[in-house]
Every structure is written in C-alpha cells, then in structure tokens.
Amino acid sequence: MLIELKQCGGKDTYLRHKIVVILIVCAILAMCSVLIADTVGGGDYAPDVVEMNRIKASVESVNSFENLYADFGYDFTVVNDNGDILFSTNDSVQMLLEQRLNNAIRNFDAVISFDGGYIVVYTGHLRGSNIPLRLSIVIIISVILVALTISFYIYIKVALYRPFKKLKDFASDIATGNLDTPLPMDKGNLFGEFTESFDIMREELKAARQKIIDEEKSKKELIATLSHDIKTPVAIVRAASELLEIGEKDKKKLANIKAIQEKSLEIDTLITDLFSSALEDLSELRINITDIESKHLQEIIIKADALNKVILSNNMPDCLIRGDALRLGQIFGNIISNSYKYANSEIHISFALEDKRLLMSFKDKGNTLQKEEVPLLTKKFYRGKNAEGRHGVGLGLYICLELIKKMGGELVAIQESDGFRIDIAFVLS
C-alpha cells in the first residue's frame, strides 16, 4: 500500500509540473506574438530611397501623365504648384487634396518636389497589399492562445474540479454516516493520492464503527443474559414463598413471607428496568417532521443508490407527504444496502396513491429467507439465517420501522416466490 501511495504521489507531482509548463508556454506565446508582429509584420522600417528616386525620375521624364505607367513599389500622387492633382496610382482620385496631405503627414509619408510641383509618396503602405501582415499574425496567434486557454480550462475542470467535487460528495457521505460506498480510485488526477487515502480512512472508520457496534451488542447481550439469569432464581424464590404462604398460619411468619414476595417483585421490576434502559437509545430516535414533495423522495433514492441498481417502475405521483428528509435518507439507505448485501440484484421501486397515502414498494430477487422468519425481521437484533458470514447487528429494519411509525406511516416486509419486498406507506400532507 505504501508503494502505491508513493507512485500516486509521483504522478501528482508530474501533473502539477505539467500545469506550470502550460502556463509558461502561454505566457511565452503571448510575448512572441507581439515581438513577431513588430518584427515581421512590417512595423517601423526605412523607406526605399531608390524606389522614390525612380518614381521622381519617371514623373519628370514623361510629357503626358497619361503615358505614365510603371510597376512602382509605392502608391503616389502628383500635384502641380497650383494644388491640382495631375496623377494618382490608387483608386482614391475623388479624395480632396487637403485630405491627402493630412493623411500623408499623419502616416509620415514622403513629399518630393520636382520642377512644376511635388510628389506625395505613401511610404507607409506597400502597393497592392490587402490586410497588413502584422494584423494577420496577431489574429492567428490570438486564436492559438484562445484555443490553448480553452484547452487549459477544460483540463483544469477535468483534472481538478471534478475530482474535488467527488471528494466533496464523499466527505458529505462520511459526515452523514454512509461508510459503505467506496470512493472510486483514479490515480491519473491531481487528487489520486488523496483519493486512496480518503478511502483508507473510510475503511478504517467503518471497521471502527463496526467494532463499536459489536461491543455495544456484546454489552446488551451480556445485560440480557444476566437479567435472565437473575430473574430465574428470583422467580424461584417468589414461587417458594407463595407455597409457604399456603400452609402457614402464624401471622408473623406470614408477614415475613409477604415481605419476601414484595422484595422479589421489586427486584424483578428493577431488573426489567435495567434491561429496558440498556436498549433505550434505540427507541429514542428523534425526527423532525415537515411537508416533503414527493419528487424529493426520488432524489433521496438516487443518492442512496450507490451501485446504480435501482429501477423506478413507474413515475412518482405529485403530492406532499409528512416526514423527515434526513431520516428518509437513512431508511432508504438501509433498505437498499440490505438488498445489495443479501440479494445483489436489481431493485424495482414502484409508487401508488391509495386512501390518502403514498405507497412505495422496494422489490429485489432475494429468496433466501424462510417465510416464518419474515415477521421477525423488524424485531430488535434479529438476523435471518441468510445473514451468516455477513456484517450486521440486526437493527436496520427495526430502526426503519420505528422511524416510519413516528412519521405516522407503516412498513411491512413480504417474502414472495420471485423475490423479497418491503412496502412503505406515507401519510399525505
């Protein structure tokens, strides 16, 4: 077990390192996106002087601008001294000259004078380009970062949130006393080591609770045995005194005999009270009765069905019942756990409304009980012959019956030819 825990811890360390690496990679990619966009995406760069001189030479050499055509690297506009546009390489001929000059000043474009006017060369834009390369790179890297972030979120949800939710639900079950449902082992998540440790804790708590139950049962059985053994000689003394009373005429002796009878009766009463007080904790189960929606019963059943063996045979009728939700969880848990233990089959649960009561039937395929044993199942400490070799103290159905009775309902156990059934009747609100 220690070896497995160490291996699990190593796996957890590896996964934690993986998260750190992913975060570092995301940060590096974010920084690289800015650097690449500035370096490759056509950021600040020196204008091509050769290309500008070529444009100037072409403008000065033509007699008519209608014949001016060349494959230039920059867009440009030719303006005469009067401010009239003589030629433009782009499609914005309709743009006012003042607007062109403002745009040129804003973009740090070049203005070249020549004999008869000047040329505005748009050095901030390569001719024929569509979307600037910088914007394309930023968009692509942004999409990659978004995809990585979403993937990281999904990973965190699977590796952290879901295992943590399982641990939280498991802790709630432990707090409510459910020690029979194991915590699924998953050493591939960050809580693998804790998962195994928590389940070991559950097993130890279950063993400790079973030990306490066994000790309490031994005490109660000891009290019952001593009570019986003491009652026997007391009963003999009382019977002997009654025989002496029949033939005795002396008043003084008759008074002594009466005293013996009274004291023996008093001892018998005290022994009975001692036995009753030892078992009093089982009958003093407190409940808090409120109105409960019937659909809430289905949620309690699902929560109690740890092994997913319950099948709802029909729909739950809409109604309000009188009961204690916490105790109902205890009742359903006891019944379903018994079915797991003794039948190990599907559990069919059906519902019906009858005579202002909600009827529930729990039926499995268990058929190992004798019919004469069935009425005794709800008795204190009684366990059927099929319970040999299985843990238990014979209090589950007894407690269920006591709780149902305090809610004003009924509980009946029935052995049928094809299985075992427990019927519960709840009072409608």
Averaged pLDDT in 10-residue chunks for the chain of 429 residues: 40 56 67 58 63 84 73 81 79 64 74 84 60 67 82 76 73 73 65 70 82 76 63 71 81 85 77 62 68 91 85 92 89 86 90 92 88 86 76 75 92 90 93
Query: Helix, strand or coil for residue 334?
Result: helix
Residue 180 three-state SS: coil
Name residues whose C-beta falls within 8 Å of residue 180's C-beta, 6 or more positions apart in sequence.
Answer: 206, 306, 337, 340
Whether the CA torsion 218, 267, 379, 410 is positive or negative: it is negative
Cα separation, 75 vs 45, in Å, equals 17
For residue 281, what is the DSSP state? H
Nearest alpha carbon to residue 281 among 351, 219, 338, 329: 219
Amino acid (one-letter) located at 364: D
409, 427 Cβ separation under 8 angstroms: yes
pLDDT of residue 412: 94
**232/142 Cα distance (integer angstroms):** 91
What is the C-alpha to C-alpha distance for residues 317 and 408, in angstroms, rounded to an integer?
20
DSSP for 85-129, please give it: EEEESSS-TTS-HHHHHHHHHHTT-EEEEETTEEEEEEEEEETT-
Task: Compute how many other C-beta atoms are within 10 angstroms of the C-beta atom of residue 76.
Answer: 25
Which of these, 333, 300, 322, 330, lies nearest to 407 by C-alpha position? Answer: 322
Asked if the 290-427 domain carries CATH number 3.30.565.10, the reply is yes
Residue 412 DSSP symbol: E
- The Cα–Cα gap between 332 and 347 comes to 12
pLDDT reported for residue 411: 95
Cα 209 from Cα 244, distance rounded (Å): 52
Three-point CA angle 304, 305, 306, nearest 5°: 100
What are 141's two structure tokens? 């890297």
Question: 317: closest CA among 361, 355, 359, 362?
Answer: 359
Residue 2: the pLDDT is: 34
